[in-house]
Amino acid sequence: MTAPNPMPAGWSCADMAAQAADRPSALVQEHLDAAGAPMLGAGSALPPPETCLITRFARFESAGEFLILRALAPGVTLMDIQRTTPVDYIVDLDTITALRRT
């Protein structure tokens, strides 16, 4: 049995390496620019977690030199995310907004 490919569809090794290097990849930045939603960088204030309900989002986690994209269940708030493992990027798939935590 082979291991599942951790790379999201449409991503290149350069995209994965950029994520692992803690900077937005060209693909992520392109989607953010197209949506007019800037990346919130290190030190940026997150919205109040109790008021920020993300209906559909994905979590990017560092895993060595790769990043794994994991889909998370609907109805999870930023408060829930902050109680779990560190998150490099939180992407709201409805508005294509990304929040980066430090």
pLDDT digits (tens, 9 = 90+) for 34-69: 554 444 443 444 444 443 333 344 444 444 333 333
Q: How many domains does the chain have?
A: 1
> Looking at residues 68-80, what average pLDDT do you find?
47
Position with higher pLDDT, 40 vs 76: 76
Asked, for residue 18, whether it belongs to a domain, the answer is: yes
Task: Assess if residue 53 is contained within a domain.
Answer: yes
Domain containing 94 equals 13-100
Report the Cα 28 to chain-centroid distance in Å: 9
Burial of 57 (0-12, 13-18, 19+ CB in 10 A): buried
Average pLDDT over residues 17-22: 49
Extract the tokens encoding 41: 């960088």
Q: Which of 57, 26, 49, 21 is nearest to 39 (CA)?
A: 26
- Alpha-carbon gap, residue 32 to 46, rounded angstroms: 17
- What is the structure's pLDDT at 38? 43
